[in-house]
Amino acid sequence: MSKTGDDFELVHGSGNVFRDFGRADADVQQTKALLAARIIGILDDERLSTRKAEARTGVNHADFTRIRNVQLDRFTIDRLMIVLNKLGRRVDVRIDVHPRAAAEEIPAHR
C-alpha cells in the first residue's frame, strides 16, 4: 500500500488502446488515430490553421477540424493517407500479421 492508501495494479497494455478496451475494429481505429496524429503534428509544426490547410491542400477546413478533434468516424485509412500526401508527405506502410489470442476473438455477425 502506498502512503496515500491508494492501491492500484499496473497493467501493461498491448500498444493498441482500442484492442485493450475490446474494440472489434481495434486495428483500424489505431491506424486512423496514428495517421490523424501525424496530420495534427504537421498542422502544428507548420502553424497551419484549418483554413490555411484547406487553401494549401484543397481538403475542406471542416475535415481538418474533425481530425484535430479526433472525430475520425467519417474518415477511412486511405482518405487520411491522401490528406498526408496533400500535405507533402509520403506514407510508408509496414504490416505485421499475428494470430489472435483466444481473448481477442471477434464474434461473428448474425
Q: Per-residue pLDDT for 103 more than 80?
A: no
Mean residue pLDDT of the chain comes to: 88
Q: Residues of the chain with pLDDT > 70: what percent?
A: 87
> What is the mean pLDDT of the segment spanning 58-67?
98
Question: At 104, is the pLDDT very low, low, confident or very high (cuts 50, 70, 90)?
Answer: low
Q: For the whole prediction, is pTM greater than 0.85? A: no
Q: What is the pLDDT of residues 6-55, one digit of tens each?
A: 788 887 788 888 888 888 888 899 999 999 999 999 999 999 999 999 99
Q: What single letter denotes the amino acid at residue 65?
A: T
Residue 4 domain-assigned (yes or no): no
Return the exposure string of 64-79: e unless at least 16 CB atoms fall within 10 Å of the residue's CB, then b. Answer: bebbeeeebeebebee
Residue 104 domain-assigned (yes or no): no
Range of the domain at 36: 18-88
pLDDT value, residue 74: 95
pLDDT value, residue 16: 82
Q: How distant is the alpha carbon of residue 73 from its chain centre?
A: 11
Lookup: cell for 69? 478533434
Q: How many domains does the chain have?
A: 1
C-alpha–C-alpha distance, residues 92 and 27, integer Å: 17
Residue 11 domain-assigned (yes or no): no
| CATH code: domain of residue 57 | 1.10.260.40
Residue 94 domain-assigned (yes or no): no
